[in-house]
């Protein structure tokens, strides 16, 4: 069986807009305008979160907390339409948000990111894969959410969010945590596929 992607990948304010299962993600009360921009990235909640992650050996609790905090700050910036903060917290931004003439469209993208990600909870992201250039935190299946980060000058930057369904073959994980580095530049294939 092949992996079924449940949404649209949107790259860092090229936001990943995904159709989430209601039992995994709850929607905030605020309405949002959807914009069809295919790429990859998204953001979750600015609500106070107590981080008590139970991570398996593949993860690192401090790294998971750092990633979650970065993601929360990114979500807060999206909710507030704070473009300078989004630029600071992002690996890349969408062409829409890079164009000052498209401010309203950029704000709509930020609203979409917040709307589709606000229901994420820290305790759902139990798994961490990382090295000096990239970090991925992700949830259990069958509908897995992956949040990708790059590390630039020591700081984590939000890169993308993906959600996919998987069967017993774990193709979803294999596709999204592909640590091969085909071009030998230090970026995993799965991370590099999200670059614009």
**Of the ranges 11-20, 57-66, 149-158, 164-173, which one carries the lowest mean pLDDT score?**
11-20
Quick one: tokens of 134? Answer: 């990239």
Task: Assign 170 a pLDDT band (cuts: 50, 70, 90).
Answer: confident
Q: Which residues contact 150 (CB under 8 A, 6 or more apart)?
A: 91, 133, 134, 156, 157, 159, 191
CA distance 148 to 190: 9
Quick one: tokens of 40? Answer: 């990859």
Q: Phi and psi for 113 in degrees, rounded to 5?
A: -60, -50
Closest by CA to 136, choosing from 74, 79, 184, 187, is: 187
Q: What is the pLDDT of residue 171?
A: 82
111 pLDDT higher than 90: yes
Quick one: tokens of 149? Answer: 């980060």
102 pLDDT higher than 60: yes
Contact indicator for 39, 63 with CB cutoff of 8 Å: no
SS (H, E, C) the chain: CCCEECECCCCCCCCCCECCCCCCCCCCCCCCCCCCCCCCCCCCCCCCCCCCCCCCCCCCHHHHHHHHHHHHHHHHHHHCCCHHHHHHHECCCCHHHHCHHHHHHHHHHHHHHHHHHCCCCHHHCCEEEECCCEEEEECCCCEEEEEEEEEECCEEEEEEEEEEECCCCCHHHHHHCCCCCCCCCCCCHHHHCCCC
114 pLDDT higher than 50: yes
pLDDT (tens digit per residue) in 34-88: 333 333 334 433 333 333 444 444 447 888 999 999 999 999 999 999 999 999 9
CA distance 190 to 174: 9
Task: Assign 196 a pLDDT band (cuts: 50, 70, 90).
Answer: confident
């Amino acid at each position: 069986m092949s992996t079924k992607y449940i949404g649209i990948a949107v790259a860092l304010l090229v936001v990943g807009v995904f159709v989430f299962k209601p039992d995994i993600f709850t929607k905030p009360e605020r309405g949002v305008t959807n914009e069809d921009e295919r790429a990859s990235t998204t953001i979750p909640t600015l609500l106070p979160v107590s981080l008590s992650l139970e991570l398996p050996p593949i993860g690192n609790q401090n790294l998971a907390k750092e990633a979650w905090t970065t993601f929360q700050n990114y979500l807060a910036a999206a909710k507030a339409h704070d473009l300078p903060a989004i630029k600071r917290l992002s690996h890349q931004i969408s062409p829409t948000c890079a164009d000052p003439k498209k401010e309203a469209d950029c704000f709509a993208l930020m609203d979409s990111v917040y709307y589709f990600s606000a229901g994420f909870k820290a305790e759902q992201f139990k798994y961490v894969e990382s090295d000096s250039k990239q970090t991925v935190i992700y949830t259990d299946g069958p509908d897995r959410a992956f949040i990708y980060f790059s590390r630039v000058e020591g700081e984590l930057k939000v890169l993308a969010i993906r959600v996919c369904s998987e069967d017993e073959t774990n193709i979803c994980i294999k596709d999204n945590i592909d640590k091969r580095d085909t071009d030998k530049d230090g970026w995993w294939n799965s991370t590099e596929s999200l670059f614009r």
